[in-house]
Amino acid sequence: MLPPTSSQVEVHVKQVLPTHENVVALIEKLNQYQIALYGRQMCTLEPPEILEKNHAFMVGAFVNETLAGIGAVKLLDGYAEVKRMYVEENYRGLSIAGKILQALEAYAKQQHVKKICLETGNQHFSALKLYKKSGYQEVEIFGDYKPNQISIFLGKTL
């Protein structure tokens, strides 16, 4: 049996709480993925409790009733930052990450944010492809990030 294509799968994106157990499970999978690529010391692994404390807006992408992906956006001084984007491995290739990103951008626009930024790693090839396809371009380091050899900083005017 062939896996479904993006046109065969109905995806619903809606707000979720960062501390919901299914969301926490995906955040932990994202943490393990990033640690395997870069090592723990190189990763900025913002925990669910901090996302919630900082009033991050988080969405989940659902296929049927299954949480297939997550993403969050934090509103900061003068811009928004995309955080904790992740799609379950068996749901990749179905345009889910793009739908999550669109929802986060729409929320930022509703909040009258004019610029959205993100930090990703140089080994996240699929993510880099998605962001560039979505209009993101490399920007200067921002926020509290420290220069390192793996981070790539991207931004987009909304």
Residue 108, domain CATH: 3.40.630.30
What are the E-state strand segments in 77-146?
A: 79-87, 115-121, 137-138
Whole-model pTM: value is: 0.92
Position 2 in a domain = no
Paired tokens of 106? 């729409």
Position 6 in a domain = no
Give the largest Cα separation in the chain, rounded.
49
- Structural domain boundaries, residue 138: 11-157
Domain count within the chain: 1
pLDDT tens by residue, 69-119: 999 999 999 999 999 999 999 999 999 999 999 999 999 999 999 999 999
Q: What is the DSSP string of 35-69?
A: HHHH-GGG-----HHHHHHTT-EEEEEEETTEEEE
Q: Which of 85, 84, 80 is nearest to 97 (CA)?
A: 85
